[in-house]
Amino acid sequence: MSSQASSALLADAPPTTAGSPSETSSPSARPDRPLLVRDAGFWTAVLTLCNAALGAGLLSLPYAVASAGLLVGSLSTCVLICASFASLCVIMGLMAQAGPSVTSFGGLVRWGCGPAASNVVDGFVFLNSFGACVGYLVLLGDVVPPIVLDAVPAAKSMSAGQLRAAAASVASLPCLLLSMLRRISALRFTAGVAVFACFFTAGLLTAQAVQHPCRPGDCYDGAGRNGWCTAAQAANASSAAACYADRPTAGVSLWPESAAFVFAEMRPALRESRPRTAVAASAVSLLAFFYLTVGAVGFLRFGAQTQGDCLQNFSPTDASAGIARVAVALTALSAFPMQHFPARGILHRLWRLLVDRAVSTRPPTARPAGMSTLFLLLEPVGWVGVTLPLALVLGSDLSFVFELSGALVVNGVVFLVPAALLLALRRSRHLAVAFLLLGASLTVSGTFISIDEKIRAARAEVTDLASRGGARGYVYAE
């Protein structure tokens, strides 16, 4: 390895210019400079970025591969991962140019495109954060009850609705406490647990795919569903409706608001071009491993009957699936505060604006710049107090809303906003055009697919009810 490439791995190296002595010095000349792989701050940033992108969507990736096919599904996942990496590098690079005064994605948009555009982006970010937090509470309400039933047999006397409400309510307490942390880097320990949980889930699905691969005529999951659909079944509308389950689609992206928070809390040495690129590349590499592994092996194990939550393909009495449910619950618990942080920053700016107007006679220098302890304590209480009842009342009926908001909000913010920043600042126009095309195509196609799937599901349910004389239920092909 050349001395110039070696010096790029120095986490604490000061900014250098071409031809400077530090650029040509060897690692042995600076024994006090740790490599990035030994830098705790580096791994904190990597794991926190991974935690921002991981979540319940990981469990629906096998369905995405089942819908698109193994080759197309894997290739499309790789394209989205590469595009997300490019978007992340653009955001970090512009954050570095904007300076330490810009600490959020909304602030970056305000710096590059003006306050009007920033307000619009903040609205989208807030809606996504709110929906994601409700979704995580819904997920916890679905995942925790089987764990409770195994650990506490007395809970079997409760109804499904009562057990679900109790599970979501109890799970909201750690979400509340984690949401009170002042800095996003304080979540580094929960981020590590979430990444470990994803490794376990990926390992479980890989072991299942190796031991019980889906073969013609022998592709039954733990619930007795046959995942092998013949060509005749697929050609017949009624047979295909019974053979292929109806599930939500999955998305792959790095949420830019969380990435902006992570970058703002990185040490100055890690914000230099090469270290921050190494942070982004390491985080995206971990995500690529999880996405591709879980998506491929889940489909290879369960075939056409791969469920939106692939853990539903396991038997309720499967001990390894129970451990995986615990792992997913831990991932959701750590992801909830990550999604809450961007919304909290927006609410704080709104609160500051209202307070400044109310006490306009007070000098600006006399007003506190950061979040007060009282705000840090009270705001999460209000946030959980709103998201938890909504999750309990609406439950899984929100799935279509989340799919649609993901298509309209996430794709727009992840790709279209960085494109607008590049165009406004007159940087990398070719990359900006690529982001515009990708973001627009994903937004249009995602919206169409979400609505089309909802219409198809409604028609299939009506047909099924009519054929059964009003009785509800599904028939799976054997």
DSSP assignment of 114-169: -HHHHHHHHHHHHHHHHHHHHHHHHHHHHHHHHHHHHH-GGGGGS-HHHHHHHHHH
Both tokens of residue 247? 């599930």
- Measured in whole angstroms, the distance separating CA 396 from the mean position of its chain's CA atoms is 18
**Left (φ > 0), alpha (ψ -120 to 50) or beta: where does 307 sit?**
beta
Instruction: Annotate 387-405 with DSSP letters as a single string.
Output: HHHHHHHHGGGGHHHHHHH
Distance between CA 62 and CA 248 in Å, rounded?
A: 11
pLDDT, position 173? 93
Distance between CA 165 and CA 137 in Å, rounded?
A: 10
Distance between CA 15 and CA 25 in Å, rounded?
A: 14
pLDDT, position 177? 92
Q: Could you give the C-alpha distances from 228 to 45, 66, 235, 292, in angstroms and in order?
A: 42, 12, 14, 22
Distance between CA 55 and CA 162 in Å, rounded?
A: 25
What's the number of domains the chain is made of? 1
Asked if the structure places residue 68 within a domain, the reply is yes
Asked if the structure places residue 229 within a domain, the reply is no
Q: Are 96 and 271 in contact (CB under 8 A)?
A: yes
Asked if the structure places residue 473 within a domain, the reply is no
* Amino acid identity for residue 421 in this structure: L
Per-residue pLDDT of the chain (478 residues; tens, 9 = 90+): 444 433 333 333 344 433 444 333 444 444 344 456 677 788 888 888 887 777 656 777 787 777 777 787 788 888 888 888 888 899 999 999 998 888 888 888 889 888 888 888 888 888 878 888 888 888 888 778 877 777 777 777 787 778 888 888 988 999 999 899 888 777 777 777 777 877 887 888 888 788 877 776 666 666 666 665 545 544 444 433 334 333 333 444 556 777 888 888 888 888 888 989 999 899 889 888 888 888 888 888 877 777 766 777 777 677 777 787 788 788 888 888 888 888 898 898 888 888 777 665 555 544 455 788 888 999 999 999 999 998 888 765 545 555 555 666 666 677 888 888 898 888 888 888 988 888 888 778 777 776 776 677 677 777 766 766 544 433 333 3
Farthest-apart Cα atoms in the chain, separation = 83
Q: For 412-453, how does the pLDDT look when each residue is reduced to its tens digit (9 = 90+)?
A: 677 888 888 898 888 888 888 988 888 888 778 777 776 776
Is residue 291 within a helix (H) or strand (E), and if so which, with residue range?
helix 273-302
Q: Give, as one character, the DSSP assignment of residue 406.
A: I
Distance between CA 229 and CA 269 in Å, rounded?
A: 55
Both tokens of residue 254? 């790095």
Asked if the structure places residue 66 within a domain, the reply is yes
pLDDT, position 104? 82
User: Which residue carries 């060897």 as its tokens?
Assistant: 26
Both tokens of residue 132? 């994601």
Asked if the structure places residue 439 within a domain, the reply is no
Asked if the structure places residue 242 within a domain, the reply is no
**Left (φ > 0), alpha (ψ -120 to 50) or beta: where does 71 sit?**
alpha
Q: How many CA atoms lie within 13 A of 220 on its CB side?
A: 8
Is residue 254 within a helix (H) or strand (E), and if so which, with residue range?
none
Centre a 10 Å sphere on the Cβ of residue 474 and count the other Cβ atoms it contains. 12
pLDDT, position 228? 59
pLDDT, position 266? 87
Q: Are 290 and 58 in contact (CB under 8 A)?
A: yes
Can you give 418-472 as a three-state secondary structure string? Answer: HHHHHHHCCCCHHHHHHHHHHHHHHHHHHHHHHHHHHHHHHHHHHHHHHHCCCCC
pLDDT, position 403? 59
Q: Are 344 and 379 in contact (CB under 8 A)?
A: yes
Distance between CA 26 and CA 403 in Å, rounded?
A: 51
Q: Give, as one character, the DSSP assignment of residue 69.
A: -
Distance between CA 344 and CA 129 in Å, rounded?
A: 9
pLDDT, position 44? 84
Both tokens of residue 192? 């590590």
**Left (φ > 0), alpha (ψ -120 to 50) or beta: where does 61 sit?**
alpha
- The answer for residues whose C-beta is within 8 angstroms of residue 180's C-beta and 6 or more apart is 376, 377, 380
In which domain, by residue range, is 352 found? 39-216+252-398
Distance between CA 345 and CA 323 in Å, rounded?
A: 35
**Left (φ > 0), alpha (ψ -120 to 50) or beta: where does 217 sit?**
left
